[in-house]
């Protein structure tokens, strides 16, 4: 048996934890640089805000309904996610973190065999300890747990937890085919064309026919809906093979100073992530380009790839390599919109000894990186940084309406009046 726990309107719920007066008010959260809507509270969904809507097109609606608009605050969301997952792990050791706000839980190891009661206790604990409301679906397979979770969300009167009953027909009829895990928008259109509208309709279909008309993935989905397990818990995430750090500039930039600082910042972030996952990179690609959509301005796209010998995760080595690769392809006279660093050929563990690096140098770099990471973890990202990442602040995001990073920054802790 599996459960799927999914936080309700996660980013909006995080905004509400430390600002309870936002409860029951419509809240939307914006993408980096305050561009588009990436999350909505239920109230905002009801008003009609859609994912991906550019916020400047919604001004009237925002005003009319007194909608709370927030810049994204990933320091807060990431930390709240960690707290939710930590609480879930107290209830079962078999947890697969599926996304920032979702986790699959294997239930077979639980002592209490009344899974629904136990999941209600877990839901209450998460709500009490973190302030985040979650919905939980329980079923014989991951696909059924997902379906029950969808049902729980759509049916608030059942209190946030739904289990697939012995006779599941009613629940299967209540879930439309497009809401089933693994059925995309394209497929749901195709299914509706052949008269399949709900999960119940889908289960009636012959798996062999589905395999022929769609493919084996669709067939597995149907088999899972019938209670046959095809997807198991994945607890050790596959090791990543590449790592990309890039972002659009808030406004176009024209100087090498600005572009080089952006590249150095992305190199810094990428190196941190590598060390965090105990990986080293062998190949580095650096790129920058003008807007891909503005056809009236002169366009230019530049990229260069170099080998890192020996493979490394040392910040200054990666910054140096990225800038050395980028400088020869730099061209004046363009308005650049985006820059980035792409690391490839990642591998685990200790890089091999190299002719090009003395053992003393290696130990020195390792020590510098541990100090750097310790300071930045304890005192906030970017407390210690390399001068190459700059002074022009070109990398600062436009985030005019970000809430405080309540749980990760000492100077932004919530204050309680006495």
Question: Which CB, 92 or 149, lies closer to Mg ion?
Answer: 149
Question: Which CB, 9 or 317, lies closer to Mg ion?
Answer: 9
Question: Which CB, 15 or 261, lies closer to Mg ion?
Answer: 15
Residues 49-88: x/- map of binding to Mg ion (CB under 5 A)?
----------------------------------------
Beta bridge partners of 102: 6, 99
Smallest separation (angstroms) from Mg ion to the CB of 99:
8
Q: Which residues 349-378 are close enough to bind Mg ion by CB under 5 A?
A: none
DSSP H or E run through 39: strand 37-40
Q: What is the DSSP letter of 416?
A: -
Q: Please give the structure tokens belonging to residue 108.
A: 């077979």
Stretch that binds Mg ion, among 4-12, 153-161, 214-222, 397-405 (CB under 5 A): 4-12
DSSP H or E run through 371: helix 359-379
Q: Which residues 7-46 are close enough to bind Mg ion by CB under 5 A?
A: 7, 10
Question: Which CB, 73 or 314, lies closer to Mg ion?
Answer: 73
Q: What are phi and psi of 409, to 5 degrees?
A: -130, 125
DSSP per-residue letters across 140-202: SSHHHHHHHHHHHHH-GGGTTEEE--SS-HHHHHHSBGGGSTT--HHHHHHHHHTT--BHHHH
Smallest separation (angstroms) from Mg ion to the CB of 162:
15
Stretch that binds Mg ion, among 74-82, 94-102, 237-245, 352-360 (CB under 5 A): 94-102
Are 131 and 16 in contact by the 8 Å Cβ rule? The answer is: yes
Smallest separation (angstroms) from Mg ion to the CB of 5:
10
Q: Please give the structure tokens belonging to residue 199.
A: 């999960």
Give CA–CA dist 9/45, Å, rounded.
Answer: 10
| Interface residue with Mg ion, options 3, 5, 6, 263 (CB under 5 A) | 6
- Going by their DSSP bridges, the two strands 336-348 and 243-253 should be labelled as antiparallel
Are 171 and 148 in contact by the 8 Å Cβ rule? The answer is: yes
Stretch that binds Mg ion, among 2-10, 145-153, 203-211, 237-245 (CB under 5 A): 2-10
Greatest Cα pair distance in the chain: 70
Q: Which residues 226-255 are close enough to bind Mg ion by CB under 5 A?
A: none
Smallest separation (angstroms) from Mg ion to the CB of 9:
7
Rg of the chain taking only CA atoms, in angstroms: 25
DSSP H or E run through 82: helix 74-91
Number of residues engaging Mg ion in binding (CB under 5 A): 4
Smallest separation (angstroms) from Mg ion to the CB of 237:
19
Are 101 and 7 in contact by the 8 Å Cβ rule? The answer is: yes
Smallest separation (angstroms) from Mg ion to the CB of 2:
17
Question: Which CB, 92 or 135, lies closer to Mg ion?
Answer: 135
Residues 95-124: x/- map of binding to Mg ion (CB under 5 A)?
------x-----------------------
Question: Which CB, 178 or 252, lies closer to Mg ion?
Answer: 178
**Where do contacts with Mg ion occur on this chain (CB under 5 A)?**
6-7, 10, 101
């Amino acid at each position: 048996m599996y459960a799927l726990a999914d936080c309700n309107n996660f980013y909006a719920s995080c905004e509400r934890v430390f600002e309870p007066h936002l409860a029951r008010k419509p809240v939307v959260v914006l993408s980096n640089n305050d561009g588009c809507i990436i999350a909505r509270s239920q109230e905002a969904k009801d008003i009609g805000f859609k994912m991906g809507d550019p916020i400047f097109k919604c001004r009237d609606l925002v005003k009319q309904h007194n909608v709370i608009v927030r810049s994204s605050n990933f320091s807060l969301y990431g930390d709240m996610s960690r707290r939710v997952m930590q609480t879930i792990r107290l209830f079962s050791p078999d947890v697969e973190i599926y996304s920032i706000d979702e986790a699959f839980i294997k239930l077979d190891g639980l002592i209490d065999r009344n899974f629904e009661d136990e999941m209600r206790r877990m839901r209450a604990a998460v709500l009490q300890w973190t302030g985040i409301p979650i919905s939980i679906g329980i079923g014989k397979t991951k696909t059924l747990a997902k379906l029950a979770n969808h049902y729980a969300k759509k049916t608030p009167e059942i209190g946030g937890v739904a289990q697939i009953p012995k006779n599941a027909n009613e629940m299967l009829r209540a879930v439309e085919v497009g809401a089933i895990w693994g059925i995309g928008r394209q497929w749901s259109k195709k299914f509706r064309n052949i008269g399949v509208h709900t999960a119940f309709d889908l289960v009636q279909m012959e798996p062999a026919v589905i395999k022929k008309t769609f493919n084996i993935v669709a067939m597995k989905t149907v088999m899972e809906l019938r209670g046959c397990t095809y997807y198991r818990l994945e607890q050790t995430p596959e090791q990543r093979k590449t790592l990309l750090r890039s972002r659009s500039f808030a406004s176009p930039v024209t100087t090498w100073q600005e572009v080089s600082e952006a590249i150095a910042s992305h190199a810094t972030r990428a190196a941190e992530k590598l060390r965090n996952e105990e990986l080293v990179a062998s190949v580095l690609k650096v790129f920058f380009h003008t807007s891909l959509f503005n056809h009236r301005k002169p366009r230019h796209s530049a990229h260069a790839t170099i080998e890192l010998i020996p493979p490394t995760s040392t910040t200054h080595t990666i910054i140096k390599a990225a800038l050395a690769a980028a400088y020869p392809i730099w061209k004046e006279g363009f308005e650049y919109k985006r820059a980035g660093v792409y690391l490839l050929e990642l591998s685990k563990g200790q890089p091999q000894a190299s002719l090009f690096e003395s053992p003393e140098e290696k130990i020195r770099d390792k020590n510098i990186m541990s100090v750097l990471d310790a300071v930045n973890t304890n005192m906030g990202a970017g407390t210690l940084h390399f001068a190459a990442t700059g002074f022009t602040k070109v990398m600062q995001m436009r985030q005019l309406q970000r809430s405080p990073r309540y749980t990760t920054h000492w100077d932004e802790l919530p204050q309680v009046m006495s």
